[in-house]
Amino acid sequence: MSMKITDPAQFGRVAVVMGGSSAEREVSLDSGRNVLAALQARGIDAHAIDGIPALLDALRAGHFARVFNILHGQHGGGEDGVLQGALESLNVPYTGSGVLGSALSMDKTRSKRVWQSLGLTTPGFVALPRGADVHAAAKQIGFPLIVKPACEGSSVGVTRVFEEAQLDQAVQLAAKYPGDLLMETLIEGDELTVAILGREVLPTIHIVPKGAFYDYNAKYIAEDTLYLCPGLEGHAESELRTLSLQAFDALGCHGWGRVDVMRDRNGRNWLLEVNTAPGMTSHSLVPKAAAAAGIDYQELCWRVLETSFREGA
Assign 3-class secondary structure to 22-64: CCCHHHHHHHHHHHHHHHHHCCCCEEEEECHHHHHHHHHCCCC
Active site residue 152: no
Domain co-membership, 278 together with 168: no
Mean pLDDT across the chain: 91
Active site residue 303: no
Quote the number of domains for the chain.
3
**Which of 279, 284, 297, 308 is flagged as catalytic?**
279
CATH number (domain holding residue 158): 3.30.1490.20
Domain co-membership, 242 together with 157: no
Domain co-membership, 172 together with 273: no
Distance between CA atoms of residues 276 and 253, nearest Å: 7
Domain co-membership, 109 together with 177: no
Domain co-membership, 235 together with 286: yes
Active site residue 154: yes
The residue that leads in pLDDT, 67 or 219, is 67
**Which of 241, 258, 263, 303 is flagged as catalytic?**
258
> Most confidently modeled of 24-28, 175-179, 308-312?
24-28
Distance between CA atoms of residues 50 and 101, nearest Å: 23
Active site residue 224: no
Distance between CA atoms of residues 79 and 275, nearest Å: 8
Summarize pLDDT for 176-204 with one digit per residue, the tens: 887 788 899 999 999 999 999 999 999 99
**Does residue 300 form part of some domain?**
no
Stretch 278-299: mean pLDDT: 94
Q: Are 49 and 59 in contact (CB under 8 A)?
A: no
Which residues contact residue 66 at a Cβ distance below 8 angstroms, ignoring those fewer than 6 apart?
11, 12, 14, 15, 92, 93, 94, 305, 308
**Does residue 22 form part of some domain?**
yes
Stretch 261-290: mean pLDDT: 94
Distance between CA atoms of residues 44 and 301, nearest Å: 11
Q: Cα–Cα distances in Å, from 42 out to 29, 70, 112? A: 20, 18, 39
Domain co-membership, 282 together with 250: yes
Q: Cα–Cα distances in Å, from 212 out to 159, 218, 284? A: 11, 10, 19
* Sheet strand arrangement including 125-128: 125-128, 181-185, 145-149, 159-161
Active site residue 80: no
**Does residue 297 form part of some domain?**
no
Distance of CA 99 to the CA centre of its chain: 15
**C-alpha torsion sign, points 193, 71, 115, 196:** negative
Question: Residue 181 sits in which domain range?
Answer: 125-185
The confidence band for 312, taking pLDDT boundaries of 50, 70 and 90, is very low
Domain co-membership, 154 together with 240: no
Active site residue 62: no
Q: Cα–Cα distances in Å, from 234 out to 187, 204, 231, 238, 266? A: 23, 12, 11, 7, 16
Domain co-membership, 111 together with 245: yes
**Does residue 308 form part of some domain?**
no
CATH number (domain holding residue 35): 3.40.50.20
**Which of 2, 19, 20, 24 is flagged as catalytic?**
24
Active site residue 190: no
pLDDT cut 90: percent of the chain above it: 72
**Which of 22, 111, 275, 284 is flagged as catalytic?**
275
Query: Would the pLDDT of 55 be above 70?
Result: yes
List the single range of 96-100, 119-123, 180-184, 216-220 with lowest mean pLDDT: 216-220
141: three-class secondary structure by DSSP: helix
Q: Write the Ramachandran bin of 134: left for phi over 0, alpha for psi from -120 to 50, otherwise beta.
A: alpha
Domain co-membership, 251 together with 278: yes
**Does residue 82 form part of some domain?**
yes
**Which of 94, 214, 220, 297 is flagged as catalytic?**
220
Domain co-membership, 195 together with 225: yes
Summarize pLDDT for 257-268 with one digit per residue, the tens: 999 999 999 999
Active site residue 239: no
Domain co-membership, 12 together with 50: yes
Summarize pLDDT for 209-235 with one digit per residue, the tens: 776 655 555 555 666 788 999 999 999
Distance between CA atoms of residues 193 and 242, nearest Å: 13
**Does residue 301 form part of some domain?**
no
Q: Are 107 and 150 in contact (CB under 8 A)?
A: yes
**Does residue 16 form part of some domain?**
yes
**Which of 107, 184, 260, 306 is flagged as catalytic?**
260
Q: Are 161 and 141 in contact (CB under 8 A)?
A: no
**Which of 22, 34, 111, 154 is flagged as catalytic?**
154
CATH number (domain holding residue 109): 3.30.470.20
Q: What is the pLDDT of residue 267?
A: 96
List the single range of 31-40, 157-166, 222-231 with lowest mean pLDDT: 222-231
**Which of 79, 107, 273, 306 is flagged as catalytic?**
273
**Does residue 310 form part of some domain?**
no
Domain co-membership, 168 together with 195: no
167: three-class secondary structure by DSSP: helix
Q: What is the pLDDT of residue 313?
A: 42
